[in-house]
Structure 1
Amino acid sequence: MRPRSVPITSAATARSYVRSVVEEHRRVPSGPAGERAVMDLLLVVSEAVTNAIRHGGGLAGFEVALLPEGVRLSVHDYSDAVPSAAYGPGTLPHSHEGSGYGWPLIIRLSREIHIERRRAGGKTVTVLVPLT
């Protein structure tokens, strides 16, 4: 499936859209394992979009593509700053000080994480979330 770019204004609208794409194409096995994979995917969607809004100067774009190995998400924002420990092990912080769980969760639940600077400024974070 070719990536689809849609107007997304919040994590909730992004989750709803991604769930509808996955359900429309029914590439997720049914049962608890399939639902767990969808929940992991929706968690990554929430965290990536929220990070763009809270830390990236706003959401500049959102794309989703279904692939045989999972779902590829691309989240565009307006900040050139790359997340600290961008490709680290996904270790969760020992204490919570208002933020810090989102990026490690994205790392733990995703594969093929790429961060690219955009010509117009900002960056694109692209991840592949497996559905198996």
Structure 2
Amino acid sequence: MSRAETDPTRRHPPTGHRPRSGVAGCAVRTAADARAVVTEALARHSAAGGRLLGDACLAVTELVTNAIRHAGGVTGFAARASEGGSVLTIEIEDACDAHPRGDRANLQDPTLLGGRGWPLVQLVATEWEIHPLPGGGKRIRVVLTA
């Protein structure tokens, strides 16, 4: 698991913001949109259900929610399944340079109102990477396996 270092300056995308790097399409505006993309990617490879789909839906829900809440929205999104659908790679971009935060200990604290999203993603993912984008913002790449 690797993480690229970036400046933790918070930035919001200007009105009419477009993806900076060309990650496939940004029709994803909501967590439901992302879940539909992931479900379709896995269905194309006969992996329409099971733990991988559940973990992937959880991960994209948290990633998209974080992008909306902390970075002004998703600016790029892609989901690709391997042949056979045993590996799913998700990439999400936003306009905020800051990395997601959260400690896995947050998962055990029922009194917290937030702070569980990134730890949940780390819990279900096999690997993850965070890379700065040339014009600002970041790309988070998450790999999940069946």
Residue 96 of structure 2 contacts residue 136 of structure 2 at CA under 8 Å; is this kept in 1? Answer: yes
2-structure distance, mates of 1:64, 1:104: 20
Match for residue 35 of structure 1 among 50, 58, 63: 50
Deviation digits for residues 14-40 of structure 1 (CA, Å, limit 9, x no counterpart): 1012101211221x3x8xxx5122111
Letter matched to residue 57 of structure 1: G
2-structure distance, mates of 1:53, 1:124: 14
Q: 1:112 — aligned with what?
A: 127
2-structure distance, mates of 1:10, 1:97: 24
Deviation digits for residues 38-74 of structure 1 (CA, Å, limit 9, x no counterpart): 1111111111111111112321110111125511101
2-structure distance, mates of 1:96, 1:58: 27
RMSD (CA atoms): 2.0
Match for residue 100 of structure 2 among 63, 72, 83: 83
Unpaired runs of 5+ residues, structure 1, are none
Count of aligned residue pairs for this structure pair: 120
Letter matched to residue 100 of structure 1: G
Match for residue 11 of structure 1 among 19, 31, 36: 31
Q: 2:141 — aligned with what?
A: 126
| Superposed displacement of residue 93, structure 1 | 4.4
Unpaired runs of 5+ residues, structure 2, are 1-22
1-structure distance, mates of 2:108, 2:29: 28
Residue 93 of structure 2 contacts residue 138 of structure 2 at CA under 8 Å; is this kept in 1? Answer: yes
Q: Which has the higher strand share?
A: 1
TM-score (norm 2): 0.73
Match for residue 61 of structure 2 among 42, 46, 60: 46
Aligned residue for 2:110, secondary structure, equals: coil
- Detail structure 1 runs of 4+ shifted over 4 Å in the superposition: none
Letter matched to residue 126 of structure 2: R
Residue 45 of structure 2 contacts residue 82 of structure 2 at CA under 8 Å; is this kept in 1? Answer: no
Residue 111 of structure 1 contacts residue 128 of structure 1 at CA under 8 Å; is this kept in 2? Answer: yes
